[in-house]
Structure 1
Amino acid sequence: MNFLEFKYQRPDKDEVLTRLQELLHQFEQAEDYAAFFNTFQQFIELEKHFQTQMQLANIRHSIDTRDEFYTQECDYFDVISPIVDNAIHAIDQVILNSPYRQQLENDVPKTWFMIHEFNQKVMSEAIIEDLQEENKLASRYQNVIASAQIDFNDEVHTLASIEKYMSDPDRNMRKQAHKAYWGWFADHEQEIGDIFDQLVQVRTKIANKMGYETFTPFGYLRMLRLDYDRYDVEQYRQNVLEDVVPVAMELYQAQAKRHGYEGPTLPAWDEKITFESGNPQPKYDEPELVRRALQMYRELSEQTGIFFEGMVDQNLMDLNAKPGKAAGGYCEILPDYGVPFIFANFNGTNADIETLTHEAGHGFQAWLSRNAFPYDLVWPTNESAEIDSMGMEFLTWPWMELFFEEDTAKYYYTHLEGAVKFLGYGVLVDHFQHEVYDHPTWNHDQRMACWRELEQQYLPQKDYQDIDVLERGGWWMRQLHIFMMPFYYIDYTLAQVVALQIWSRMQRHDETVFDDYVAMAKCGGTKTFKELVTISKNIVPFEKGCLKQTMQDVKAWFEAHDVEE
């Protein structure tokens, strides 16, 4: 069935709540385990259908945020989903405290219980209105970003489409594109700052009502950090400062030299340009890129070939940037149909291929575990899911010539360099959020100053000449996750470290690396982060010094692969 044929029907709030109440009574009155388990299966099916309809509305809204029908539907879910979640919360409580729980544990993976025990700690009827307000504010930010109209180069651009010019080989072109891009943020700084301030306040209010002094511990529970805590993350951040930032600065030094600068600092408009001649760009438009990606996935393995054929045949991807389209990229699962959907904003840069392979990694993992029971264990927790996506970026390296041809060597360099440089940025985003939510009374200027101070630790190469909003600390305003999914960012860096281990094993011609990746991906959400990393035969990245060997391997590769202009 084609995605365009997937039927959307708004779930009636009263019908859903009535059915959930009926299931609650069935759980409470179950005379034996067979009756209890039957009710559990009905409960899971109801959740699946509700989530499918909500995801359909969200996907179609993000494809065109100007579509009034799906805008209204997303507004509807913003209101009713906390109410439905609260009813589900009551049922989860009955299941977790049931005399049949021990028997259920024989049929349901342990992580389901861990996740729902965490969820019990972050849901209450007392915070429904606050959750509704949080949803509305997050949606408001997304709509503000999607509404951007930037006059540049005799065209009207979105924030996504102008990025092509921000990586243009011509320095003056990309300088002017950067000024136009960040000029839009400067013009909307007060509005975006106000939205974020309201988000911080409502999230702090939610946490306070649930018994937490700040949002930070509440945010960790909500992000399902099943087997690590903020102290593990603090050690990990220190590892990045000690072992990654120095290597990244060597890369920036080499980049600055290629651009004709003396030191490692770079103007904002040169930072994304690894080579003076310009970054590698895919040689084809979206239809041909997809055709070549299909060839790649067929050659990688039989399973990846079958998966990607289905994505193409069922129209399960929307890839090009266009007016009214929401920013960013993602992969979601549509549980009723057992298929993923990939959303992206292709703009003609090398990021198009990284996004495609990244989101296809998510999609392949979800496809492998699409029959997981309960359905919500299709996905692992976020930091584990990002191993699947970032790992896929490196597993597809042998096919990059299909997309970049004579620029393939430059692509390898920029991709690996980007992975290393990203670690500092990703840790910065996480550290910033810790500071913001640990200091909820800060005003906008204090948040801006905090970002700039941390930026100078993790990204000391930053030079924001002529862009005042960045010099004052405004980069974070473009980071969707900070607004939409608080504390969802360290996940990417943890996964990147594991993905770099996959890359390192590939360099050593480890023939088991793909099979180990598949073994991990098949588990979906049935294992915790540390367990999944172990299944993939890689090293868990929290221990002191864990990054030293990986960064030595990375440094050696760059020394052996100095790509000249």
Structure 2
Amino acid sequence: MSFKDYKYVRPDYEALKVQLTDLTQQLADAQTGEEAVRVAKEITAINFSIDTQATLWSIRHSIDMTDAFYNEETAFWNEYSPLFEELTTNYYRVLLESPFREDLSRFLPETFFLLAENKLTTFSSEAIPLFQKENELVDRYNNLMATAQMEFRGETYNLSQMGPFGQTLDRETRKEANDTVTAFFEANEEAFDTVYDELVKVRHEIAKTLGFKDYVEYGYKSMNRFDYNREMVNTYRQEILKHVVPIVDELRARQAKRIGVEELKHYDLGLEYLDGNATPQGKPEFLVEQAQKMYRELSPETGEFFDFMVENELLDLVAKEGKDTGGYCTYLPDYKAPFIFSNFNGTRGDVDVLTHEAGHAFQVYNSRWVETPEAIWPTYETCEIHSMSMEFMTWPWMDLFFKEQTEKYKFSHLSGALLFLPYGVLVDHFQHEVYENPKMTPAERKATWRRLEKMYLPSKDYSESEALDRGIFWYRQGHIFASPFYYIDYTLAQVCALQFWKRTQIDYDETAWEDYMRICKIGGTQSFLQVVESARIKSPFQEGALEETLNATKAWLDAVDDSQF
């Protein structure tokens, strides 16, 4: 069945409340393990269907944020998502108290019980109005971004469509394009500040209502960080500062030399080579065809998976008016179908989507055997191992997309992995400071961002942009608004993915694919560090893991004569 034929029906909350409340009571009253499992499976099936409808709404809303019907549904989900969450939390409470834990464990993985325990501490009926307010504020931010319109040289563009102009060879065009985008954020500065200020206050109130010291403590629980804490993350950030920032400075100096500028300004960062960045050598349809060929050759499993995605039209890839920004992968449990959303704009990022988001989709496709929605996906930092590693697993096929620019792409891709690490921990550090000091004013938040930006990205030169030098760049980072603390996850996963890069591209380790397949099938049935162990790679928190990975990566980059690109 094609995605367009998937039927959306708004769930009847009142009817489902009666049904789920009755089933939860049946679970509490169960006299045998067999009865407890039967009821738990009935509840799970209903939750799968609710998740499916919520995901259908979310996808179709993001594909066209001007669609009146799905805009109306947005109001419903903003209001009722916390109410459905309340019903689920009641189920968790009863299940965790059940005397038939051993029987239930044959159906539910151990991580389910850990997730359920965390949910009980991060949700209460008392906080429902606060969660509803948070949903509304996130939607306001998304609408600000999705409806952005910029006039540039006689044409109108959205934020995604402005991307290629920042990579053009003409420096004046790059500067003008960057100024145009910055002007949009500056013109809406008060709106972005207001939304975020209200979000910080609401989230702080949520944390206090639920008995947490601050929203950071709440955030770690809600993100299900079973294996590590804020002190370990702080140490990890310091390691990035110590070991990665100097390499990034070297890479930026090489970039300035390559593109022939004495001083690398912020608007130069998008251009990597004087003859232009590596770009896909074909239209979107061509890229999908090549991806299908690539995945069929990579393995029987990836071939079957990507054929399924194409045949069922589970990809919406091209940027267009009214479409939300960014890219994501999600999952429709009733159809056992992943879905990939992106905004192709003619840059190398189009191919990155076909490897990164496909990595997510491949994992969840292989985890469809998991019988409960809570454990089909792993926790966020684990999810990103699958996606980022897939980017490197597919290196041998990059010539299909980039042809004679393939080596240029690989240099950009690998160096980009290192360039990202300091930015990723910057976003995390910023959020820690914001939520540890919730009374900051908008001006103080911007000053905090700029102070940290100078620490982690010292080579970023905003001398020709007063607004960026004042600290408004973070407005464009949607995770800060919509998914607090979901960003360090990318960097932790990147360190893991670089180990898969070394195993596959340097060591030619024939067992690497077997290990990758194993963790895709594991899904969310193991915690982050358990998955790392199953993958036979080192934890990013393990002493020496970062340095060993960096040494191999830097050696490969140093061996490349990038002046020839």
TM-score, length-normalised on structure 1? 0.98
> Following the alignment from structure 2 to structure 1, what is the Cα–Cα distance between the partners of residues 390 and 120?
34
Aligned to 1:512: 511
Query: How big is the shift at 1:131?
Result: 0.2
Aligned to 2:549: 550
Report the 3-state secondary structure (helix = DSSP H, G, I; strand = E; otherwise coil) of the residue aligned with 2:330. strand
Aligned to 2:207: 207
> After alignment, is 164-173 or 447-456 more displaced?
164-173
Q: Which amino acid aligns with 1:543?
A: Q
Q: Which amino acid aligns with 1:316?
A: L
> Following the alignment from structure 1 to structure 2, what is the Cα–Cα distance between the partners of residues 97 and 226?
21
Contact kept, 8 Å, 2:82 with 2:131, in 1: the verdict is: yes
Aligned to 1:133: 133
Aligned to 1:561: 560
> Following the alignment from structure 1 to structure 2, what is the Cα–Cα distance between the partners of residues 207 and 320?
39
Query: How big is the shift at 1:276?
Result: 2.1
Aligned to 2:414: 416
> Following the alignment from structure 1 to structure 2, what is the Cα–Cα distance between the partners of residues 28 and 557?
59
Q: Does 1:447 align with 2:455?
A: no
> Following the alignment from structure 1 to structure 2, what is the Cα–Cα distance between the partners of residues 278 and 175?
16
Contact kept, 8 Å, 2:215 with 2:436, in 1: the verdict is: yes
Aligned to 1:380: 378
Equivalences for 1:231-380 in 2 at 5 Å?
231-262=231-262, 266-380=264-378
Q: Does 1:49 align with 2:49?
A: yes
Aligned to 1:160: 160
Aligned residues: 563
> Following the alignment from structure 2 to structure 1, what is the Cα–Cα distance between the partners of residues 374 and 307?
24
> Following the alignment from structure 1 to structure 2, what is the Cα–Cα distance between the partners of residues 205 and 271?
39
Contact kept, 8 Å, 1:235 with 1:544, in 2: the verdict is: no
**What is the Cα-based RMSD across aligned positions, in Å?**
1.0
Q: Deviations over 1:370-416 (max 9, x none)?
A: 12121321100000000000000000000001111111111001000
> Following the alignment from structure 2 to structure 1, what is the Cα–Cα distance between the partners of residues 561 and 116?
49
> Following the alignment from structure 1 to structure 2, what is the Cα–Cα distance between the partners of residues 492 and 340?
20
Report the 3-state secondary structure (helix = DSSP H, G, I; strand = E; otherwise coil) of the residue aligned with 1:200. helix
Q: Does 1:15 align with 2:15?
A: yes
Q: Which amino acid aligns with 2:435?
A: Y
Report the 3-state secondary structure (helix = DSSP H, G, I; strand = E; otherwise coil) of the residue aligned with 1:266. coil
Query: How big is the shift at 1:155?
Result: 1.4
Equivalences for 1:54-133 in 2 at 5 Å?
54-133=54-133
Give unmatched runs, 5+ long, in structure 1: none
1:472 aligned to which of 449, 466, 470: 470
**Identity of matched residues, %:** 44
Query: How big is the shift at 1:546?
Result: 2.4
Report the 3-state secondary structure (helix = DSSP H, G, I; strand = E; otherwise coil) of the residue aligned with 1:151. strand
Contact kept, 8 Å, 1:382 with 1:491, in 2: the verdict is: yes
Contact kept, 8 Å, 2:166 with 2:271, in 1: the verdict is: no
Aligned to 1:148: 148
Contact kept, 8 Å, 1:201 with 1:440, in 2: the verdict is: yes
1:493 aligned to which of 469, 491, 494: 491
Contact kept, 8 Å, 2:386 with 2:520, in 1: the verdict is: yes
Q: Deviations over 1:31-62 (max 9, x none)?
A: 21111110000010010000000000000000
Contact kept, 8 Å, 2:37 with 2:103, in 1: the verdict is: no
TM-score, length-normalised on structure 2? 0.98
Q: Deviations over 1:470-505 (max 9, x none)?
A: 101111100000000100000000000000011111
Q: Deviations over 1:498-536 (max 9, x none)?
A: 000111112111111111101111100000100111111
> Following the alignment from structure 2 to structure 1, what is the Cα–Cα distance between the partners of residues 156 and 259?
30
Query: How big is the shift at 1:212?
Result: 1.4
Query: How big is the shift at 1:169?
Result: 2.1
Contact kept, 8 Å, 2:292 with 2:307, in 1: the verdict is: yes
> Following the alignment from structure 1 to structure 2, what is the Cα–Cα distance between the partners of residues 478 and 52?
29
Report the 3-state secondary structure (helix = DSSP H, G, I; strand = E; otherwise coil) of the residue aligned with 1:423. helix
Query: How big is the shift at 1:103?
Result: 2.6
Aligned to 1:33: 33
Contact kept, 8 Å, 2:363 with 2:523, in 1: the verdict is: yes
Contact kept, 8 Å, 2:428 with 2:487, in 1: the verdict is: yes
> Following the alignment from structure 2 to structure 1, what is the Cα–Cα distance between the partners of residues 87 and 303?
41
Query: How big is the shift at 1:466?
Result: 2.3
> Following the alignment from structure 1 to structure 2, what is the Cα–Cα distance between the partners of residues 498 and 145?
31
Report the 3-state secondary structure (helix = DSSP H, G, I; strand = E; otherwise coil) of the residue aligned with 2:331. strand
> Following the alignment from structure 1 to structure 2, what is the Cα–Cα distance between the partners of residues 168 and 403?
20
> Following the alignment from structure 1 to structure 2, what is the Cα–Cα distance between the partners of residues 162 and 177?
7
Q: Which amino acid aligns with 2:558?
A: E
> Following the alignment from structure 2 to structure 1, what is the Cα–Cα distance between the partners of residues 368 and 60?
22
Query: How big is the shift at 1:205?
Result: 0.4
